[in-house]
Amino acid sequence: MIRPLQPTDHASLLQVQRRAYQVEAALLDVIDFPPLRETLEEIGVEAPIGFVFLVGDTLAGAVTVDDMTITRLVVDPLYFRQGIARSLLQHLLEHSHAKHVMTGARNQPALALYARFGFTETRRAFRDEIELVFLTRT
């Protein structure tokens, strides 16, 4: 089930994104991955807007957006390859005007997912020694 992200979801969101970003850090071949340093307090200050995917009462994934930029799309590795990221992205695009996203250049699963939804690369840049790909959906 997909529903709007609520402040009471922040602790679960942090746990899921830490597990998901550990996988992404391995894909990117980096040890110090900035999203892994995010704290519950920082999420509270951010007050992210988006959606969560629940399996029963368990938060299995989330997508957040700020203005027209997707700020996170995370799925708990326990739920990989079940269509959760696809479902969240589709739901977000149906309910927002999101059209920008960035991900690591070595994150082929994310790049393939965004390409299926019409996102195309607009530029690349390095941040914290990580090559990032910026994508836009037209």
Instruction: Give residue 32's pLDDT band: very low, low, confident or very high (50, 70, 90).
Output: confident
Asked whether the predicted pLDDT for residue 82 surpasses 90, the reply is: yes
End-to-end CA distance of the chain: 28
With 0-12 CB in 10 A as exposed, 13-18 as middle and 19+ as buried, what is 96? Answer: middle
pTM: 0.93
